[in-house]
Amino acid sequence: MNKRVICALFALLVIEAGGNGIVSGVSGNGRQNEGMNGSSGSLPVRPAGDSGRGQGLYDSSCIVCHGPQAAGGIGPRLAGNSVLSNEQAFWKVVYEGRHVMPPLKGAITEQQMADIQAWLKTLR
């Protein structure tokens, strides 16, 4: 099996497995991921990320495709990637997926993704 297929299967497995508390659940405010846009059509306010939690979350779910220290692999290099500073583009890719990356909306909470994003922003 090629690496893309393995990555896609792993990502789907992570999404389906859910219930382990790492990639599923609700955020601290009790809400599952909300829509991309707030009710006014403007960008929603995202939770503040915790880079300490983000590294552990990344290591348990993203490392398979994006590599150690987000250096890239099957998926693109995320360390120093300009998408991290474009909130709208970042959350769109996370929620809707892109290429072999599956959509994560409903499989990961906003808080968990904000934590991962905060950790990724510490990398260069």
Phi, psi for residue 78 in degrees, rounded to 5:
-105, -25
pLDDT (0 to 100) of residue 9: 42
The answer to whether residue 100 sits within a structural domain is: yes
pLDDT (0 to 100) of residue 124: 85
Can you tell me the distance from the alpha carbon of 37 to that of 18, in angstroms, rounded to the nearest whole number? 25
CB contact burial 6-42 (16+ within 10 A = b; e otherwise): ebbeebeebbeeeeeebbbeebeeeeebeeeeeeeee
Task: Tell the residue number behind the tokens 């990724």, with chain if given.
Answer: 120
Domain that holds residue 107: 3-18+47-120
pLDDT (0 to 100) of residue 13: 39
pLDDT (0 to 100) of residue 33: 41
User: Rg of the chain over CA atoms, in angstroms?
Assistant: 14
How many structural domains are present in the chain?
A: 1
Which pLDDT tens digit goes with each residue over 19-43? 333 333 333 433 444 444 444 456 6
Q: Domain with 111 in it: what CATH number?
A: 1.10.760.10
Can you tell me the distance from the alpha carbon of 88 to that of 64, in angstroms, rounded to the nearest whole number? 24
The answer to whether residue 76 sits within a structural domain is: yes
Can you tell me the distance from the alpha carbon of 105 to that of 98, in angstroms, rounded to the nearest whole number? 13
Which pLDDT tens digit goes with each residue over 69-112? 999 999 999 999 999 989 899 999 999 998 888 999 988 899 99
pLDDT (0 to 100) of residue 50: 93
